[in-house]
Amino acid sequence: MIRDAAPADLPEILRLVHALAEYEREPDAVEATIDDFARALFPQDGTPTTYALIVEDDGAVVGMAVWFVTFSTWTGRNGIWLEDLFVDPANRGAGTGKALLTRLAQICVERGWTRLEWTVLTWNEPAIAFYEALGSISMDEWQTRRLQGDALRILATA
């Protein structure tokens, strides 16, 4: 069963994020807390900046997709940036990941949005094969760039 995340899901979301970090060989990289996710997903004031879908199997949370709204200046329409998709290893191969991506595609189509985008680590061959089987294309001509830490602070004060 796929559903929108609820505040009661926050501990499970954080558990899945930690499991994803382990899988991506960055076990100590997660700085986010339950409070951070609560502010983004369920703010007390204003509109959420981030959304999450939850997958349950017999009442247990086994997967998630965390996403936010993007905008394309070329199409003049919004889209979805899939920040993270993760399914517990014991639940892989049963269509859970495809069901999450299907629901995100449905949200795009229902809202008239034109894109569903994400990144994948170049070494994650099982995920790449899975995404290609769904019809996704690689945007090889684009390079993801990031400012963080000291570089971000230095630019902010320039």
* Cα–Cα distance for residue pair 80/92, rounded to 1 Å: 23
Closest CA to 121 of 55, 29, 50: 29
Instruction: Provide the 8-state DSSP code for 87.
Output: E
Q: Cα-flanking dihedrals φ and ψ of residue 60, to 5°?
A: -100, 135
Q: Cα-flanking dihedrals φ and ψ of residue 81, to 5°?
A: -105, 115
The one-letter amino acid at 7: P
Catalytic residue (choose from 131, 143, 148, 151): 131
* Cα–Cα distance for residue pair 2/96, rounded to 1 Å: 9
The question of whether 131 is a catalytic residue gets the answer yes
Which residues touch 41 (CB under 8 Å, ≥6 apart)? 5, 7, 10, 13, 48, 50, 51, 52
Q: Which residues are catalytic?
A: 131
